[in-house]
Structure 1
Amino acid sequence: MHFLKKPLTVALAIANLGVATALAQEAEPAKEEKSTGLLEEVTVTATKRETDLMDTPVAITAFSQAQLERAGATNVRDLAGLVPNLDIGYEQDQASPVISMRGVRSTNTSELGDPSVGLHMDGIYSPRPQGAMALMFDVERVEALRGPQGTLFGRNSTVGVVNVISRRPDTESFEANVGVELGSWDNQVMKGVMNLPVSDTFALRASFIQQTRDSYLDGYYDPNQWDRRRLPGYAQNAPDLVGDAQTLIQDRNWWGTKKELVKADGEDFYNNIDQYAFRLAALWEPTEKISWLTSIEKYQDQGAGSINTLDCDKLELAGNSCENIYGPGADQYTVAVNTPGELDLSIESFRSSFRWDFSDEMAFIYNAGYAVQDRSNLVDIDAGVTDWDMEIWFVDTEYASQSHELQLQSTGDGKLQWIAGAFYFKEKNDMDGLFNAHMNDSAFWDQPNRTLESEAVFGQMTYELTEKLFLTAGYRYSKDTKQDVGGRNLSCNRDWGLGEGDAGFPGCYPAWVWADGLDADDYFNQYSADHFANPDIYSVATNNDNKGSWSDSTFRLGLDYDLTDDVMLYAYVADGFKAGGIGDVVVEYLQDPLTAEYATDENGEQIIEQVYQQNYDPERVTTFEIGAKGSFFDGSLNLAATYFLSDYTDMQLAAPESVHDVYAIEQNPDSDNFGEVITNGVVVYNTRNAAESMIQGVEVEFQWAPIENGVFGGYVTWLDTEITSDFETRWNFANRELFEIPDYGLAHSNENPLLYRNLKGNELAASPEFALTINYAHTFELGNGDRIIPFVNVHWEDDSYLSYWNVDKHDFPTPTPEAFSDTREAFTTVDVSIRYVTADDKISAELFGYNVTDEIIPYWASAGDGVVRAPMSVPANYGVRFNYTF
């Protein structure tokens, strides 16, 4: 009851306010027809049929292309702050956004994980989270649905759906426009659209967009690290460091000459932009009853990818500073790397939507989609802060998917409206990649055939019980199967001395080769740039053949009531299901912790002590939601309010986790002693089921035109999240610092009882208690009909956590736990613009500024080696855009 008391009070107050306003309107003289109001009506497809936004019993936010442009939103990632309880971070290793809605997200962005927010393009499911980075251009609208949408939208929509709907070709009229945008860091955008009516029944529409922008980071190349193979020549030959400058990199570079950091060119450095996209769509309507829409689309990102930077504020709490690491003047946007970023991400899609209204009461719809995502990317993981010199390299990945959905739906005006359908989805993944810690080891993965197959049948109906009361009921049965065939994890064939072969090295690399007369800071440069991408230098460590299958039924049951012609109330209960998953197979061999020797059987084979299959169970959610939507004051105010309560069982939470301990005779990274037996954990990115969690909140959205030509908009949210059952787990966040354990192995050992904590009572990530967005646009009409439209948008969020660890809720030996916390302080961002539009709407020009208060906002948190890293918000930036319509 304590969990419910506060939000129910708020929800009842909102409901009472809506009812009181509605009754006041009913007391006014009756009107012959419903007022059209001052605000534009918005059509959405949240129920798989076209309905008015204010008449749809779902918490939904919709944006037009013009609204997206004004907000500077070019992809789904940019919707953060524009939609209630939506937060979007970024995971550098996978070049992937991490979408959180109502406190729920999936941090396993690999092919093994599934997102918690379903992404759909023109109503067709998009499986990989990287698809959210594809450019949104020439769109009809973008719809963000909150709450379980499993009945109609299917898999991985336990907490919501984002549906990007592109503009359809128009058979009625010719249209063409071009646009240009220029801005900070040499930002350049070009885009264009042409709509061509070929005949009365056939039309084509072509559109494109291209964007380039230099990096906003203060980037440097660092020739002091182990591996300099990929650095440009001028960086490799940097002059020796002289003078009093001190950096952490220089202090740790005990193996070679200290050299100056070299300023990198922002054009091809991390966090730059170099991308384009185009779409060609065709619409054929041979009769009034038949329409067939097809489109092909290509998206290409060939930038340098993104990189996490240091949280300087937390460093200072630890008695350190960014300047001590990177030199004078360094801040949150400074980074030094020895591995230049590389990203080559392409998504090629074909989408088809066929509709046949074969009777006055019924229609048949077939939606199909085919997509191929190819990606390679190279990321410097530690950015020179540690001795390990780590990089991750997705050498080649291909995700090929197909989606098919058949629908039958009612189209008449009868009391019963319904939809029934069947869904089939299949994805095949082929991946090669590696993780390289130059001081320690290299690991390669070869996954030629990881597959996902999903099947479902579904139905939903709405029945008019009375003229004002409607009942909705829906059901879906789903089955998901995931399988790995022929996948392998490979490890280094390390040669402990020099030998013959490629550049004199027969294996991945020898250890501590300076003993054989080769300078430690030179021996990696004996290799070719793609040396570690060769699987022949590795040996198979484990085979990942694995399979899992899960099925479940989900439902939706709701009522909506038309309190007046302008006010509706609704309530529903629905559940959602996200399939479980498979993971890599990890083998633990019997080993002596004192000598690091492996036990063998009579045939000389190493003895297997345990085999770990990192499989995890499905998660389920049941959500109860009540809401109200209304249009008040002759249509000048649109108001939508909702209260929701979600009960999650077996919520899937992902984090790096040590599976078991291994012992090796190596150099201890915490000393200069050679030949010590040190303990390391076999770390995998593991997804676990975290017992139960409860989530509740209130969302209020509004759009208000109190005066002629002036419109306010925005939202207010309250959110409460909590892990409500015991979740005993080994701590995996800044272990060495928080527990003050100098030995790396002990800090990550499953055998260390000091590392275990119960996370019951913790909050979920990206869940600020309160958040607010408010914006205002005013149209000034000039005498000749031209218009000037200034706009301002303010977004504020309360403090929150960036992970589910919640450092400040637990006790640690360190006296400064706040220096390694996962908290994000409250912040405020301000965006402004002023737009000039000619009377005939042919020409427009706009000046804009985003994040003009220059807030520094972290969107993720990883901690270790004495630092906290995160992807940071884009600094204050400005620009101008022009559009011309022919």
Structure 2
Amino acid sequence: MKGIIRASVAVAAVMAHGPVLAQQSSPNSAVASDGAETDDGLEEIIVTAQRVAESSQRTPVAMDVVKPEELVRQNVIRAEDLARTSPALAANSGGGPTTVFFVRGVGNATVNAYSDPAIAFNYDGVYLGRPSSTSGVFYDLQRVEVLKGPQGTLYGRNATGGAINVIPNRPKLGETAGSFTLGYGNYNWLTGQAALNLPLGETVALRVAGSVAQRDAFLSDGTGKQREYAGRAQIYAEPTDALSLRIGVDFAHQGGSGASGYYLGTVTPAFGANGFAGYAYAPTGFSPNQGLLDPRSNALQSARFIAQVGRAGAVVDGVPYNDNDYWGITGELNYETATGTFTLQPAYRESTLDYTFNGVFRSAGTREKDKQSSVEARWTGKIGSAVDYLLGAMYFDEKIDVPNAFYNQSNLMPIQNFATGTESWAGFGKLSWRPVEQLTLTAAGRYTSDRKRFDGLSSVYILFCGNPAPPQDICPTLPLMPSIRNTAELESFYTSRGIPVTPVPLYVLPPIAGGSQTAPFVLRSPIAINAGLKNEKFTYRLAAQYDFSPRSMIYASFETGYHAGGFSFARGVETYAPETIKAYTIGSKNRFLGNTLQVNVEAFVWKYKNQQYSQFGYDLGTPPATVFLTRNIGDSTIQGVDLDVELLATRNTLLSANVQYLDTTYDSFIYFTPNQGLPPNTTCGFAPTTQTTPGGTVNVFRIDCSGKQAFNSPKWSFNLNGQQTIPLGGTKLVLQAGTRYRGSSYSSADYLPYLRSPATFVSDASVTLASADDRWFASVYVFNIEDNQRLVGGTVNSAGAISASAEQPRTWGVRIGGKF
């Protein structure tokens, strides 16, 4: 850690002084009276990462800014597509409509309604509480800001790992303008976007925009179809020079289906002369495009023997679908006075979800209603010429109602209904002081109070063929968990066939009490939670920035972050505590050679406490149930260096490189799994022990993964891109090519070698013919030229088959567009 900091300080200092010489030796660069160069050079990008409009090169915050043309070029339509644009970001689709984000190896797999993401997603300035609500927003945008590291003072809630800001284009006064893009590619991939800006008098403007995206399935079983459309309307008014008002309404529909995944391999306990001899892994050799519903996949699955139910024959037959609707309304008022500017932004958003998915399940699904209200108020101003300040407050209220959710694993099925809510208050502020012209000192703080309520019941049904302990009972005709999603019908299904449904394991009772060592039964094991949580925390940021020249600066900061605790439907681990982070950063942002070379570097060290992690695992019931839960796994250290370089080599040649190096370690990573005889399948150290739970003392394995690499954190990641423009009179030809590299990494707490994502290159290229003034264009493109489908993650199902998912295959197509 000390080596990284020392090296970064030296590099930053050299780079910060370098531009002075470079600028002095460039006779072709003009300098304006304010000291800023006025030659063409690289584009200046205005961001609002610190809640005020400023150049990205003057903002002492680590961020990747994705411009709208890059979003179009990379075909960013859904939230997980953003991973193609930033080496620091990992994003993949979870069950149904959810998206899981990791930034620099930090995040958590939030795929249900009772856990919160560690990466704050903000759309049009509004924090979105649900990761399922990030659909239908990637069109007609100004930019996307990926903020790296904790955002513990200025942004929403729970931003311990970073924030993603999606910022739409806003109406412009006095301007009649429009634009469109239309694309078609393999898999019948049709995409389209359009926007229209209209003046309504001198002081009012209207902007409407929409998008559509539909695509056939990537997988052989017909899953992974895309059927989405969205629209947005905004009206903006400036009734006076001091007052501006904006109201935006948006909606989106998500149809199609999630991808089922594929079978990576099988895992089987092996036994020798001395008993248990380990777990044998056998790869299937299946293509990542061979879905779980494919007959070849189900032939593998149905041949697997499930010891608990004494039979084989389980299949995946639940067909995924999405029928999800989203809408929201946002208001923004800005009032400028001689002493400062007041901003008020109220918002309301609503989602209605109905989706099913499979993957590790035979079938699973959720019906859900989400409502969130929020209001944020800010006051920005100056005290003299040396002090800038910002004061703000935020209120957030979220209500989630889930009348039905089910997770059918063939031998086990929880059926859930619950209501949960979050009420969060926060006050925040930032003060920047310039004691001398080139030095800026900043102090910022935020007090957050979170109250959560959870009321619900998870009725867990576990199917047994007699006693699960050896000798093995055989039940070749025992019906596996049927495709039923309510408790009454499920219990009737089994009792009508003479299979008792009981709250007590029958194999522990004597025959006189109705017990049996060999007869099948269904154990009913309800988990009820009716509880509240209150978390509160003060987080803060201290920073210093020194400007060596108008285009060169160095900065350093210390920041803390906080992520609230919550609930899980898991016996013995029903709640989890907040996680916290301390982040140390030093960096430098520079423009050289007459504004044609940009070099930004940042080094960082993050220290996590009580880090939260969400995964499939066992609860601590008797007997245990397979559940998806969040728990505090311990502490971690994440450190590394980011290097971003952009070079305008000639007027028509643009080159860029974004490189990230990560060194991650779980300093303390301990969790427990039930001891059911066989040891856990993990490369981490483990030992048998006991644990006391509300239901009594249970036998468990203590698993210690301390010292392991953090999840989704490849040591090296980089994006390389090049663009060459060839003028052709009134038109131009634009050639673009790029590649992204992600080193190998893990995504599960077992640290099994066959679940390690391999290092991959994924390249793209495009050729575009456009008018010289960019009024129209036509292009052909190809993504993933190598057809490398990187492993995203995998989970072992009840039959010992590993259900995995992978990135998209090679795609290609054409695009046209225009504007007026």
Structure 1 window deviating more from structure 2 (458-467 vs 11-20): it is 11-20
Q: In the aligned structure 1, how far is the partner of 2:570 from the partner of 2:530?
A: 8
**Which residue matches 2:625?**
682
Q: Residues 529-586 of structure 1, C-alpha deviation per residue, up to 9 Å, x if partnerless? A: xxxxxxxx99893432110000010011100000122110000101001111123374
The AA in structure 1 aligned to 2:109 is: T
Q: In the aligned structure 2, how far is the partner of 1:637 from the partner of 1:314?
A: 52
Change (3 A) 1:858 1:735: farther
1:716 to 650, 653, 659: 659
The share of aligned pairs that are identical, in percent, is 23
**Which residue matches 1:868?**
802
Give matches, 1:346-357, under 5 Å.
346-357=325-336
Instruction: Work out whether 1:756 is the aligned partner of 2:715.
Output: no
Q: In the aligned structure 1, how far is the partner of 2:677 from the partner of 2:613?
A: 18
Give matches, 1:611-690, under 5 Å.
612=572, 614-662=574-622, 680-690=623-633
**Which residue matches 1:392?**
364
Q: In the aligned structure 1, how far is the partner of 2:294 from the partner of 2:526?
A: 45
**Which residue matches 1:673?**
none
Instruction: Work out whether 1:64 is the aligned partner of 2:80.
Output: no
Number of residue equivalences:
739
Q: In the aligned structure 1, how far is the partner of 2:220 from the partner of 2:680?
A: 27
- Structure 1 residue 99: Cα displacement: 0.2
Q: In the aligned structure 1, how far is the partner of 2:766 from the partner of 2:533?
A: 51
Instruction: Work out whether 1:509 is the aligned partner of 2:493.
Output: yes
Q: In the aligned structure 1, how far is the partner of 2:564 from the partner of 2:539?
A: 12
Change (3 A) 1:200 1:617: same
- Structure 1 residue 867: Cα displacement: 3.1
Contact 1:655 1:732 in 2 (8 A): no
**Which residue matches 1:787?**
732
Instruction: Work out whether 1:151 is the aligned partner of 2:97.
Output: no
**Which residue matches 1:281?**
234
- Structure 1 residue 154: Cα displacement: 3.2
Q: 1:859 is paired with a residue of what secondary structure?
A: strand
Contact 1:421 1:458 in 2 (8 A): yes
The AA in structure 1 aligned to 2:424 is: S
2:123 to 118, 121, 144: 121
- Structure 1 residue 287: Cα displacement: 1.1
RMSD: 3.5
> Which has the larger helix fraction?
1
Q: In the aligned structure 1, how far is the partner of 2:281 from the partner of 2:386?
A: 66
Q: In the aligned structure 2, how far is the partner of 1:733 from the partner of 1:830?
A: 46
2:451 to 470, 481, 485: 481
> Which has the larger strand fraction?
2
- Structure 1 residue 12: Cα displacement: 3.7
Give matches, 1:375-390, under 5 Å.
375-382=353-360, 390=362
Change (3 A) 1:328 1:693: closer
- Structure 1 residue 490: Cα displacement: 2.9
Change (3 A) 1:506 1:687: closer
Q: In the aligned structure 2, how far is the partner of 1:803 from the partner of 1:653?
A: 10
Give matches, 1:21-36, under 5 Å.
21-25=18-22, 28=25, 32-33=31-32, 34-36=36-38
Instruction: Work out whether 1:848 is the aligned partner of 2:778.
Output: no
Give matches, 1:673-822, under 5 Å.
680-725=623-668, 727-730=670-673, 738=681, 755-783=701-729, 785-807=730-752, 818=753, 821-822=754-755
Give matches, 1:302-381, under 5 Å.
302-311=255-264, 318-322=281-285, 337-357=316-336, 359-381=337-359
Q: Give the unaligned 5+ runs of structure 1.
A: 220-268, 384-389, 517-536, 587-611, 663-679, 741-745, 808-817
Contact 1:464 1:470 in 2 (8 A): yes
Q: In the aligned structure 2, how far is the partner of 1:883 from the partner of 1:196?
A: 20
**Which residue matches 1:181?**
183
Q: Residues 6-61 of structure 1, C-alpha deviation per residue, up to 9 Å, x if partnerless? A: x2354245324414523533654896433234111100001101000101100111
Contact 1:490 1:538 in 2 (8 A): no
The AA in structure 1 aligned to 2:46 is: T
Contact 2:256 2:321 in 1 (8 A): yes
Q: In the aligned structure 2, how far is the partner of 1:584 from the partner of 1:727?
A: 20
Change (3 A) 1:739 1:705: closer
Contact 2:264 2:284 in 1 (8 A): no
**Which residue matches 1:521?**
none
The AA in structure 1 aligned to 2:811 is: N
Q: Normalising by structure 2, what TM-score?
A: 0.84
Contact 2:570 2:620 in 1 (8 A): no
Q: 2:791 is paired with a residue of what secondary structure?
A: coil
Contact 1:543 1:585 in 2 (8 A): no
Give matches, 1:490-505, under 5 Å.
490-491=459-460
2:417 to 426, 438, 446: 446
Change (3 A) 1:410 1:211: same
Q: In the aligned structure 2, how far is the partner of 1:374 from the partner of 1:757?
A: 39
Q: In the aligned structure 1, how far is the partner of 2:402 from the partner of 2:765?
A: 43
Contact 2:260 2:293 in 1 (8 A): no
Q: In the aligned structure 1, how far is the partner of 2:498 from the partner of 2:761?
A: 53
Structure 1 window deviating more from structure 2 (437-446 vs 27-36): it is 27-36
Q: In the aligned structure 2, how far is the partner of 1:733 from the partner of 1:882?
A: 60
Contact 1:434 1:442 in 2 (8 A): no
The AA in structure 2 aligned to 1:698 is: V
Q: In the aligned structure 1, how far is the partner of 2:384 from the partner of 2:174?
A: 28
1:433 to 383, 398, 404: 404
Q: 2:601 is paired with a residue of what secondary structure?
A: strand
Change (3 A) 1:78 1:431: same
Structure 1 window deviating more from structure 2 (546-555 vs 152-161): it is 152-161
The AA in structure 2 aligned to 1:550 is: N
- Structure 1 residue 799: Cα displacement: 1.1
The AA in structure 1 aligned to 2:642 is: E
Q: Normalising by structure 1, what TM-score?
A: 0.78
The AA in structure 2 aligned to 1:477 is: Y
The AA in structure 2 aligned to 1:484 is: F
The AA in structure 2 aligned to 1:464 is: R
The AA in structure 1 aligned to 2:364 is: I
**Which residue matches 1:562?**
547
- Structure 1 residue 323: Cα displacement: 5.6
Contact 1:547 1:582 in 2 (8 A): no
Instruction: Work out whether 1:15 is the aligned partner of 2:18.
Output: no
The AA in structure 1 aligned to 2:720 is: I
Contact 2:66 2:143 in 1 (8 A): yes
Q: 1:218 is paired with a residue of what secondary structure?
A: coil
Contact 2:293 2:317 in 1 (8 A): no
- Structure 1 residue 328: Cα displacement: 11
Contact 2:266 2:281 in 1 (8 A): no
Contact 1:429 1:450 in 2 (8 A): yes
